[in-house]
Amino acid sequence: MRVIVEIAGYVLLLQGVGGLVNTLFGWWQWAEGLLLVNRLPFLSGYEIFSAIVIGVLGFAMIAAAESRKKAG
């Protein structure tokens, strides 16, 4: 279970960073459809904030998986 949480955390962290970079600079136009921020219609207009939240959530999931590894 720890490995799944860690992989999901890395995916969310990548989604957050990618969404933030794409929203701010528009560098990854080819990845427009792959980013979670652009796929959810209710996040329209809040792309920067939601990308930050997604990235922080991914970082928290990675930290939780690491603390579980050290405890177990």
Q: What is the pLDDT of residue 53?
A: 96
Nearest to 19 by CA among 47, 45, 46: 47
Domain boundaries, the chain: 2-71
CA distances from 65 to 4, 7, 28, 61 (A): 9, 9, 30, 6
pLDDT at 10: 96
Q: Tokens 């999901």: give the residue.
A: 8
| pTM of the full structure | 0.85
Residue 72 is predicted with a pLDDT of: 64
CA atoms within 13 A on the CB side of 35: 29
pLDDT averaged over 10-residue windows placed end to end, the chain, 72 residues = 93 92 82 84 91 96 88 68
pLDDT number for residue 50: 94
Q: Which residues contact 45 (CB under 8 A, 6 or more apart)?
A: none
